[in-house]
Amino acid sequence: MSFLEYAPAPESRAILSLRDRYGLFIDGEFVDGRGTPFQTISPATEEHIATIANANEADVADAVAAARRAYDRTWSRMSGRDRGKYLFRIARLVQERSRELAVAESLDNGKPIKESRDVDVPLVAAWFFYYAGWADKLDHAGLGGDPRSLGVAAQVIPWNFPLLMLAWKIAPALAAGNTVVLKPAETTPLTALIFAEILQQAELPPGVVNIITGAGDTGAALVAHDGVDKVAFTGSTAVGRAIAKQIAGTDKRVTLELGGKAANIVFDDAPMDQAIEGIVNGIFFNQGHVCCAGSRLLVQENIHDEVVERLKLRLATLRLGDPLDKNTDIGAINSKEQLERIHELSEIGVAEGADRWSAPCEIPENGFWYAPTIFTNVQTSSRIARDEIFGPVLSVLTFRTPAEAIAKANNTPYGLSAGIWTDKGSRILAVADQLRAGVVWANTFNRFDPASPFGGYKESGYGREGGRHGLAAYLAPAATVGRGGAQFSTGRGGAQRRLETGAAAAPADLDTASERPTRSTETAAKPARRTRRTAKPAKKGAAK
């Protein structure tokens, strides 16, 4: 028996009290969906977990209508102080039910329990706790005094961090005073539906958060719905493009958190023990199902062999298997479809001449699994160096000079994240300056915090989530009320869009609102939503 062999230590599933069937959570209650229900399964065993309702267009319309009612009648009129108290309640309820949520997440998603327990769920609570405090302090969000909420937010989230992405979306939206219709990913709806129960326990007013399950067409119907004011999407760049096209010409605001192909740059003076751990964490955390994963390792040429050797040694000690086992490092791939994509790109890597090495580990008979894999001798032109694999596959490339490292790191249409490993502080800052990426980790990787803005450059999307910037993505300056719902609007149906690129504020000293004619005293006096409705551009239909 080697030191790597331990007795199984599975987390108990007894803490779960799952239902056989889950409905859609609309207007504070679970209701049947009108689409064909689907199964959610454990990717580790392919066992059925529950039957999930499928929202069709009529269900989407109901959910948006419920969110609109809740916005008009309750949430937009509630004091920030009270909105904040609901969010604090939710944060506490998540903490109280944290083990249950962690077990459900690992069961449904396939990620190791040590990650759902120690990373995902604690961050979910932290996210609600952080934004709860913002709800009555919006004057300090960087948009000038008395900023206003946008209305109904349509939020579509991916399967890699199901509950955490829910928190990233819902917490700032509610703090800012918006109501929400959220669609979890088809393969991972479970924790969102348990979260709906938490909302009931928190006595959140009905309709403030609606959760509708379904596949891509449900999400597309939600994004397209006329009653939606804000779209927030995390997922693939291809779908992000489609959303950007879909909302063109409307007055919907949008935040897109898309793909990545992050460079993790290791200089020869890097603190080697930490760097090895950081590289492993960078790409094998969550089976590599991470949009900001450090999937391109750029190693200074003179330490390439040493780094690869040490990586192989380290990867050989990773334990792949039952996600609910507390000793597990690498869980299951989330779906058959994703596993096939990883296999496909991996085979392309071999065909393009790269050398593949996979950690020697036993692959369970059932479920979807992929052993941690390293490609060396990778060309920058190879697809495994360009395409997002979204799996536990690392491509290793080399560089000689810092300038070459920067050029190679930036040689991608993506720009979400990057890593730098060196003991030289001035080099870290200079390299960080040159990298075209929204998040740069220096001598660490894959750190997340509700206070820290996250989001991409270039084709990794736009807008930020987290921190003050993430709050601003759900607000507009007070000056635009009655003039069409965007920062620079003066006409044309208020079809302007303010990109959420930061503390983008119309400074109070510049605010010319008082000099500008409002549409009429009648519309100016009514809530923002009414005025924006009347201001819809006639051209809107042309966009579809």
Partner 1 sequence: MSRLAVPKTYKLYIGGAFPRSESGRTYEVVSASGAFLANAAKASRKDARDAVVAARAAVSGWGGATAYNRGQVLYRIAELLEGRRAQFIAEIEEAEGVTRAVASAQVDESIDRWVWYAGWADKFAQVAGNANPVAGPYFNISVPEPTGVVAIVVPQDSSLLGFVSAVAPALVAGNSVVAVASERFPLSAISLAEVLATSDVPKGVVNVLTGSPAEIAPWLASHADVNALDLVGAGDLDWISLEIEAADTLKRVLRPEQGPDAAAPALGRISAFTETKTVWHTKSLR
Tell me which residues are annotated as active site.
257
Identify which of residues 74 and 452 has a Cβ nearer to partner 1 in the complex.
452
Binding segment (CB under 8 A) for partner 1, from list 27-35, 57-65, 320-328, 464-472: 464-472
Backbone torsions φ then ψ of 253, nearest 5 degrees: -95, 155
| Closest approach of partner 1 to the CB of residue 481, in Å | 16
Binding segment (CB under 8 A) for partner 1, from list 45-53, 82-90, 374-382, 500-508: 500-508
When asked if residue 1 is in the footprint of partner 1 (CB under 8 A), the reply is no
When asked if residue 432 is in the footprint of partner 1 (CB under 8 A), the reply is yes
Identify which of residues 103 and 156 has a Cβ nearer to partner 1 in the complex.
156
Identify which of residues 18 and 244 has a Cβ nearer to partner 1 in the complex.
244
What does the angle CA 214 – CA 216 – CA 221 come to, to the nearest 5 degrees?
A: 85
Query: Which residue, among 120, 121, 123, 128, has the nearest Cα to 98 in the 3D structure?
Result: 121
When asked if residue 449 is in the footprint of partner 1 (CB under 8 A), the reply is yes
Determine which helix (DSSP H) or strand (DSSP E) holds 395, and give its type and residue range.
strand 393-399
β pairing state of 417-421 and 263-266: parallel
The Cα 435–Cα 443 span in angstroms is 15
The Cα 427–Cα 435 span in angstroms is 12
When asked if residue 410 is in the footprint of partner 1 (CB under 8 A), the reply is no
19, 137, 140, 245: which one binds partner 1 (CB under 8 A):
245
Residue 492: count of CB within 10 angstroms of its CB: 12
Q: Is 496 left (phi over 0), alpha (psi -120 to 50) or beta?
A: beta
β pairing state of 29-31 and 24-26: antiparallel
9, 58, 313, 451: which one binds partner 1 (CB under 8 A):
451
282, 453, 482, 485: which one binds partner 1 (CB under 8 A):
453
Identify which of residues 50 and 432 has a Cβ nearer to partner 1 in the complex.
432
When asked if residue 374 is in the footprint of partner 1 (CB under 8 A), the reply is no
Residue 258: count of CB within 10 angstroms of its CB: 27
| Closest approach of partner 1 to the CB of residue 515, in Å | 8
490, 520, 522, 525: which one binds partner 1 (CB under 8 A):
490
When asked if residue 219 is in the footprint of partner 1 (CB under 8 A), the reply is no
User: What residues have CB less than 8 Å from 346, skipping those under 6 apart?
Assistant: 356, 373, 384, 389, 393
Greatest C-alpha distance within the chain: 81
The pair of structure tokens assigned to 303 is: 């330490």
Binding segment (CB under 8 A) for partner 1, from list 4-12, 166-174, 187-195, 501-509: 501-509
13, 21, 140, 539: which one binds partner 1 (CB under 8 A):
539
The Cα 455–Cα 104 span in angstroms is 27
Binding segment (CB under 8 A) for partner 1, from list 23-31, 36-44, 236-244, 396-404: 236-244
442, 518, 530, 533: which one binds partner 1 (CB under 8 A):
442
The 141-160 contact track toward partner 1, x by CB under 8 A, reads -x------------------
Query: Helix H segments across 398-539?
Result: 402-410, 425-434, 467-472, 521-525, 528-534
Binding segment (CB under 8 A) for partner 1, from list 77-85, 150-158, 375-383, 462-470: 462-470
Q: How many residues bind partner 1 (CB under 8 A)?
A: 67
> What own/partner pairs with CB < 8 Å and gap ≥ 24 does 96-103 have?
97/194, 97/198, 98/122, 98/125, 99/11, 99/15, 100/15, 100/16, 100/194, 101/163, 101/191, 101/194, 101/195, 102/11, 103/11, 103/12, 103/13, 103/15, 103/16, 103/324
When asked if residue 114 is in the footprint of partner 1 (CB under 8 A), the reply is no
When asked if residue 444 is in the footprint of partner 1 (CB under 8 A), the reply is yes
Identify which of residues 75 and 127 has a Cβ nearer to partner 1 in the complex.
127
When asked if residue 455 is in the footprint of partner 1 (CB under 8 A), the reply is yes
When asked if residue 183 is in the footprint of partner 1 (CB under 8 A), the reply is no
Residue with tokens 């969110």, as numbered in its chain: 67
56, 443, 518, 534: which one binds partner 1 (CB under 8 A):
443
When asked if residue 489 is in the footprint of partner 1 (CB under 8 A), the reply is yes
The Cα 191–Cα 211 span in angstroms is 11
When asked if residue 454 is in the footprint of partner 1 (CB under 8 A), the reply is yes
**Torsion sign over Cα 501, 220, 259, 441:** positive
Identify which of residues 390 and 441 has a Cβ nearer to partner 1 in the complex.
441
* 288 DSSP 8-state letter: G
Identify which of residues 33 and 142 has a Cβ nearer to partner 1 in the complex.
142
The Cα 431–Cα 11 span in angstroms is 43
Binding site for partner 1 (CB under 8 A): 126, 142, 237, 240-241, 244-245, 248-249, 256, 258, 413, 415, 428, 432, 435-444, 447, 449, 451-455, 457-459, 461-462, 464, 467-469, 477, 486-492, 495-499, 501-507, 510, 512, 516, 539, 542-543
